[in-house]
Structure 1
């Protein structure tokens, strides 16, 4: 049985966008292809992947996650993944 990834913890929009970009590239999808599959504008996806969407709509994020055949998991932080509070509280 193949080993499954434990996932990527994130504590900011920038980290979430980077994780989604990585997953898109692993899936060998262009931004245009993913935007079409997720029913979002490509320009919005670009902003999300670059962490430049200060307050992304959860519904859109979930459509991107679903299109990448991923799941968004809410869990207590792992001992080795302490949040960068400065990044969390910093606007934008």
Structure 2
């Protein structure tokens, strides 16, 4: 499927210079840039949806960890201890 995108002269020139420096085509540079952007934005949207679900869950049941509890748990993981996540509470 072919798609066209209108680019201003400055951006076209920048893409061409980058393509030459990388020994790639302008088409390859643009395709990679779009792929990277879409993947990053999909991850961002997934993170946002996870956060919204977590907030909704918290509003329904009040279960949570305090910052200190989470910090302590993460510090133990960081030094290689095999510890389970603390139990959530209200």
Question: What TM-score range do you get, normalising by the shorter chain?
Answer: under 0.3
- TM-score under structure 2 normalisation? 0.26
Flag the structure with more relative contact order, 1 or 2, with Cα contacts below 8 A and sequence separation at least 6.
1
Structure of higher CA gyration radius: 2
- TM-score under structure 1 normalisation? 0.25
